[in-house]
Amino acid sequence: MARVPRRLRNLNLGTQDEEPMQDRGENLTDNENEDNLQGPLDIDNILARVPQQPTSAITIIWPNGEKRKVVGSFGIANLLELEGGKVMVGTDENGVPNERSAFILGHQLGYLAESPTFAPLHLPRWDNELFKAHKELITKDVEEKFVFPHQMTQLTRDWILRTVNNRWRAYKSRLKKQHFNRGERSLEQIIEGRPKTINEHQWRSLVGFWCQEQHKVTYFVSSI
């Protein structure tokens, strides 16, 4: 039997009983206008429906195949305490996660989308060739902490990357609305007002992209 990590002993762990998976189809939308992007609809809808309180168990599986249930509180901070264990995530026929574990996964994806390591802001677009290595890091990080039905692996990987993409774009849009106020501050003040969670190189590049976008809009309007 696998040894339960010491830091997890305060959680209510029980032996695994089979639970039926719930089928919930979700259609992902891809909004190309970042200024109007409010967030990926499918993950937000999922998080609104799954239990946020410990009303249902989360199943954890260890490398030797042993499964345990966590029926108490569990969040992304607990993921690092599993010592090789992974949270089992059920999906629907489209590979979209469901059940309470989707709530934890959603928070992890939100963290990755705002991480300068996993989703850097100095790259202009998600489909940029330089983003390929970061997408691999995102997939690796998720699969080190979560496990999905084998037959849905590729569909779920695609869904994960689309979701992080949407959240990354929504994050950039939020930063722009909060900080890129050229009518109130100079460009130098905007750069100096860099959020502490963003490194200087990425922030300068992001502000540079915003300036290019503003120049394009101004040029287009003046040419009409």
Task: Look at residue 157 in the predicted model and tell me its pLDDT.
Answer: 96
Q: Read off the pLDDT of residues 64-117 as tens digits, 9 standing for 90 and up.
A: 999 999 888 888 889 988 889 999 999 999 999 987 889 899 999 999 999 999
Q: Read off the pLDDT of residues 181-205 as tens digits, 9 standing for 90 and up.
A: 988 999 999 999 999 999 999 999 9
Q: What CA–CA distance (Å, rounded) separates 127 from 131?
A: 7
H or E stretch covering 174: helix 153-179
Q: Kindly state the average pLDDT of the residues 19-36.
A: 40
Percent of the chain with pLDDT over 90: 58
Q: How far is CA 149 from the centre of its chain?
A: 19
Which residues, in sequence order, are bridge partners of residue 68?
Answer: 15, 60
pTM of the model: 0.74
Domain boundaries, the chain: 6-177, 180-224
The answer to whether 69 and 59 have CB atoms below 8 angstroms apart is yes
DSSP 184-207: TS-HHHHHHT--TTS-HHHHHHHH
pLDDT band at 56 (very low <50, low <70, confident <90, very high): confident
Of 113, 107, 6, 12, the C-alpha closest to 55 is: 12
Of 2-6, 32-36, 117-121, which one has max mean pLDDT?
117-121
The count of other CB atoms within 10 Å of the CB of residue 86 is 19
Task: Look at residue 97 in the predicted model and tell me its pLDDT.
Answer: 92
User: Going edge to edge, which strands form the sheet with 58-61?
Assistant: 13-15, 67-70, 58-61, 86-88, 146-147
Greater confidence (91 vs 218) lies with: 91
Greater confidence (98 vs 133) lies with: 133
> Which token pair is 53?
């309180």
Q: Is the pLDDT of residue 219 over 90?
A: no
Task: Look at residue 44 in the predicted model and tell me its pLDDT.
Answer: 53
Greater confidence (123 vs 57) lies with: 123
Tell me how many degrees the CA angle 140-141-142 measures, rounded to the nearest 5.
Answer: 95
Greater confidence (89 vs 218) lies with: 89
Q: Is the pLDDT of residue 160 over 60?
A: yes
Q: What CA–CA distance (Å, rounded) separates 195 from 171?
A: 13
The position carrying tokens 């990987």 is 157
